[in-house]
Amino acid sequence: MIKRNLSGRKNVILFIFSAIALIFIIKLFFLQVVDHSYKLSSQNNVLRYITQYPARGKILDRKGKLLVYNEAAFDLLVIPQQVKAFDTNEFCQLLAIEKTDFNARLSKARKYSRYRPSVFLEQISKEDYGYIAEKLYHFPGFYFQARTLRHYPQPVAAHVLGDVGEVNQRNIDQDSYYTSGDYIGKSGIERFYENKLRGAKGLKIVMVDVYNREKGSFQDGRYDTLPIAGKDLVLGLDADLQAYGEALMNGKTGSIVAIEPSSGEILSLITSPSFDPNLLVGRVRGKNYKALQQDSLKPLINRAISGSYSPGSTFKMINALAALNIGAINEHTQFSCQGKLSRPIKCTHDHKSPLALLEAMENSCNPYFWNTFRNTLYSSKFKDHKDAYDYWFETMHKFGLGVAFDTDIPFELTGNIPSRAYFDKLYRGSWNALTVRSLSIGQGEILVTPLQLANLAVIIGNKGFYYKPHLLKSIVGDADLPETYTQKIETGVSSDHFEIVKQSMLDVFEGDHGTARYYKIDSIQAGGKTGTVQNPHGDDHSMFIAFAPYDNPQIAIAVVVENAGYGSTWAAPIATLMIERYLKGKSDRPALEKRMMETSPNKKTP
């Protein structure tokens, strides 16, 4: 069977087997016994991967005043596997927590992982930190990690700035940058500019001994990475004006939006009632957030961008512009008014008849604008009133109505401009100017946000163009703003047509019958328009839009005070005080200022 005796070859094979085994054993001897670079753990040492959290970017106002900065805080971390028996009573006392709370937290950490660090107690202030850190060596397995908390030197603009909170599972799934316990912008600027503000995390690898004491960096920090600080943001917001406006809105429900017409930068974005942004920082965030959520006045709602109101009389100017633009009327066109007897819309004012555009605007004559609207829809320029309606609808969009600006304000609502399709469906195709007549005086289906109202003031002040309203002025270290913020948007209506509308707004302050003539600002010419908006749910809303100075506007503003009655009683004085504050730095009308700050339309003053 076997020609030669080959059984000697088994020794060669056994030799190969043994040689390999021997080589392995020698290599392992070096690896495990001789070589100390791998022996960090021979006394149960481990490398600790410490996340280096970058400082979140600061937020400044347009004059460089700090709106948000960081304050040091410390998280207490635990690695359950390293926890040895210790005096839990002493520990609980040290941290000022209950024993049951302690047990719950520790078992939660264990459940996450016995071997990985998890946050045991978050956001310990730097005062407590010093005290606790001194005694922490009694408690192996626990250690501190530095974090920062947001701090707001002035308790203003809570909704604009937004808040920062722990990431949820969805954030983690969407962006691998985040791990459990990280912070993320939850709303406002903090949310929108999260990627700029957060910077980039670094990683430091340190060796620790069995008592959890740091024994220096691993391999001289060769694998460490430095955190990159977040970028600082400069907002167009004026902190002083914002604070002043919030004070004026004290006790009222509503909002103020002020915009710089030459840039679209938002100078103030006020919603009332509001809250102190410091309430939503740190360990108290959850509790306070819940309380704010349950508050019947709904302070968490940002009415400046999500309050939707009928624009009322302020809208008549837009209707006039849409009509002038296609020659449906001109500035000399006259219509008659039968006062309370007018059909289909009556007039609530007493004035001469017939009257022309400027007089109609001064008197806010409803029949005049009904006729204007009807002329627009039946203009010979269009095939039929529905095509004309499409033109009107387009024009509203060009004025920023019925669409969101979609810049850097999260959760902005679009308001509502009803479409042709909407009416076709509602009236089964059969409708005409008369059917939709309430649009002519800014009532009916039309809804606008205070931000859109303020932008209307911008457009009229600029005589036909605007920049999308936005909060950001610049990012420190970044060259350019997004193009959408610097792009001039034309409404397509000739600036000549704006002249007469602008003129009418001047008369509101200057004219003998001007609705805001009592609030004329000393030495500043301004344009304004009151609105008293019918509200099916209660008292009328008081509304006012304005811009100033008249010739070269530096501020355009919209004020809405809910359920406060006439536009001239609350919204107009507040708007003029804001303008005065912004342009002059102080008010010459201290009595008015005091009355606005201390009284509320809904409660009788004592």
What is 33-84 written as a DSSP string? Answer: II-GGGGGGTTT-EEEEEEEPPPPPPEE-TTS-EEEEEEEEEEEEE-GGG--
Q: Provide φ and ψ at 520, rounded to 5°.
A: -55, 135
- Smallest separation, CB 119 to other proteins (Å): 18
In the complex with other proteins, the residue whose CB is nearer, 4 or 537, is 4
Q: How far is the CB of 189 from other proteins (least distance, A)?
A: 35
CB of 166 to other proteins, least distance (A): 23
Q: Which of 459, 412, 447 is nearest to 556 (CA)?
A: 459
Q: How far is the CB of 222 from other proteins (least distance, A)?
A: 9
Q: What are phi and psi of 141, to 5 degrees?
A: 100, -20
Nearest Cα to Cα of residue 156 among 227, 231, 30, 256? 256
Q: 111 or 287, CB closer to other proteins? A: 111
Question: Which of 208/475 has CB closer to other proteins?
Answer: 208
Residue 517 amino acid letter: R
CB of 78 to other proteins, least distance (A): 15
Q: Which is nearer to other proteins, 59 or 208 (CB)?
A: 208
Q: In this structure, are strands 233-235 and 59-60 parallel, antiparallel, or unpaired?
A: parallel
Q: Smaller CB distance to other proteins: residue 27 or 298? A: 27
Cβ closest to other proteins, residue 7 vs residue 294 = 7
Q: Are 420 and 433 in contact (CB under 8 A)?
A: no
Torsions phi, psi of 220, nearest 5?
55, 35
Q: 46-52 and 254-259: which strand pairing? A: unpaired
Q: Which residues bind other proteins (CB under 8 A)?
A: 1-4, 6-7, 9-10, 12-14, 16-18, 20-21, 23-25, 27-29, 31-33, 35, 37-42, 44-46, 81, 110-111, 114-116, 223
Q: What are phi and psi of 144, to 5 degrees?
A: -100, 150
What sections of 144-280 are H helices per DSSP? 158-161, 169-174, 188-192, 194-197, 239-248
We find the least distance from the C-beta atom of residue 115 to other proteins, in angstroms, to be 4
Q: Minimum distance between the CB of residue 101 and other proteins, rounded to whole angstroms? A: 21
Minimum CB distance to other proteins smaller for 35 or for 98:
35
Phi, psi dihedrals of residue 138, rounded to the nearest 5°: -70, -15
Q: Shortest Cβ distance from residue 416 to other proteins (Å)?
A: 52
Least separation in angstroms between CB 469 and other proteins? 45
CB 32, min distance to other proteins, A: 4
**What one-letter code names the amino acid at 56?**
R
Rounded to the nearest 10 degrees, the angle between the axes of helix 450-462 and helix 495-510 is: 110
Residues 218, 208: Cα–Cα separation, whole Å: 10
Angle, vertex CA 175, rays to CA 171 and CA 180, nearest 5: 55
Task: Compute the distance between CA of residue 161 and CA of residue 184 in angstroms, rounded to an integer.
Answer: 13
Shortest Cβ distance from residue 6 to other proteins (Å)? 6
Nearer to other proteins, 28 or 476 (CB): 28
Query: Rg for the chain (alpha carbons), in Å?
Result: 34
Nearer to other proteins, 52 or 70 (CB): 52
Q: For residue 592, how many other CB atoms are within 10 A of its CB?
A: 17
| Distance, CA of 163 to CA of 403 (rounded, Å) | 26
Q: Which is nearer to other proteins, 79 or 471 (CB)?
A: 79
Q: How far is the CB of 10 from other proteins (least distance, A)?
A: 5
Cα–Cα distances in angstroms (integers) from residue 531 to residues 312, 315, 509, 568, in the given order: 6, 9, 14, 8
Q: Which is nearer to other proteins, 16 or 226 (CB)?
A: 16
> Nearer Cβ to other proteins, position 29 or 131?
29
The DSSP output letter for 342 is -
- Residues 140, 144, 145, 151: what is their CA dihedral angle, to the nearest 10 degrees? 160
The least CB distance from residue 173 to other proteins, in Å, is: 19
Residue 200 or 297: which CB sits closer to other proteins? 200
520-544 in b/e form (b: 16+ CB < 10 A) is: bbeeeebbbbbbbbeeeeeebbbbb
